[in-house]
């Protein structure tokens, strides 16, 4: 029978070179967002979340663009 054995398969070198990064490249990472706020007194996590939501709705939350990938 033909087609059996330990010989190499035919390969397209250019196809391998062009797709090397998509196959073996680094995996995409998700950005992490850190929000720093100053609030007087001690609040629970839910109270902080509520306060942030109010600021977002009133367009009073200022974002500084900093990107950090892990």
The 10 Å CB-count burial string (b at 16+, else e) for 45-68 is eeeeeeeeeeeeeeeeeeeeeeee
pLDDT in tens, 28-42: 776 676 767 677 788
For residue 53, pLDDT over 80 is answered with: yes
Cα end-to-end span (Å), the chain = 53
* Selection from 6, 27, 20, 15 nearest residue 69 by Cα: 27
CA pair distance 43, 37, nearest whole angstrom: 12
pTM over 0.75, yes/no: no
Average pLDDT of the chain, as a whole number: 76
For residue 58, pLDDT over 80 is answered with: yes
Across the range 38-48, mean pLDDT stands at 81
């Amino acid at each position: 029978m033909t087609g059996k054995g330990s010989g190499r398969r035919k390969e397209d070198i250019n196809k391998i070179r062009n797709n090397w990064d998509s196959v073996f490249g680094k995996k995409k990472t998700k950005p992490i967002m850190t929000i720093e706020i100053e609030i007087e007194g001690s609040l629970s996590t839910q109270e902080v979340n509520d306060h942030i939501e109010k600021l977002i709705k009133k367009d009073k939350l200022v974002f500084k663009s900093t990107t950090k990938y892990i």
